[in-house]
Amino acid sequence: MPTKPTNNQPLTFWEHLDELRGSMIRIVLSIIVFGFAAFGFKTRLFDILLAPKYNDFITYRLINKLIDTQISDFSVNLINTGLAQQFMIHLKAAFAVGFLCASPYILYVLFKFVSPALYANERRTSLRLVSAGYLMFLLGVALNYFLIFPLTFRFLGTYQVAAEIPNMITLESYMSTLLMLSLMMGVMFELPILSWLLAALGLLNASFMRQYRKHAIVLILIIAAVITPTSDVFTLSIVSLPIYLLYEASIGIVKKAESKV
């Protein structure tokens, strides 16, 4: 039997509204504080964000060691085309990083607001689920920064239909692509968590996932080709492999969830 919530005197609607307002204010303030802190470290911030565009980025060095060859040098210069654009990009990047840094506190505030309405066992399950989902999101963002985006940028930034047509990549294009792909990979890494949730609700089973494994592989290859539109099989493989491993891990998670139902 589930344990009842510990609060014996439920809050009124207006008291809940006040609690929610206070939580939202704390969340916004935390994002502002971390955002302005990141804004103040402009040089360090953009040293990190612009690192994948340099030929000595760690990913390229590791690939050189792994395949015992030398990736051809490349040079991509970013340009700015608007009067206030660099300032706005700096602001957007700082608050994106600030939001990421403040995210543990944001999750804590939201969980603290919701948890009084949950049973004790529901709180434990929710805490594990949220923690796992957050870690998987961070893992997806890290994979994009160190692998997906560098290879994508190197291909698209140096691709030319003719030698006399040089690329002029804007800083806005670079930053938008980096942030978009980071979000996409973070969401994609929620696959095991989503699979567990669907299995717990009785909407997904391991036999179904095994039966349609071949279809899933084709879909994974299509997704990998869209995320990293490079021309070589090696790049497509290293992008597809983590996603495929997530699918296989999801099968095991779903099977385990079925045994507990």
Residues 83-113: tens digit of each pLDDT? 999 999 999 999 999 999 999 999 999 888 8
Q: How far is CA 32 from CA 26, 104, 108, in A?
A: 10, 15, 17
Instruction: In whole angstroms, give the CA distance from residue 119 to residue 245.
Output: 34
- Which residues, including other chains, have CB under 8 Å from residue 42's CB and lie 6 or more apart? 90
Instruction: In whole angstroms, give the CA distance from residue 86 to residue 253.
Output: 45
Output the CA torsion sign for 224, 175, 140, 28. negative
232 has a pLDDT exceeding 70: no
Residues 75-87: tens digit of each pLDDT? 788 999 989 999 9
pLDDT mean over 188-213: 88
Report field, pTM of the whole predicted structure over 0.85 = no
pLDDT mean over 7-19: 71
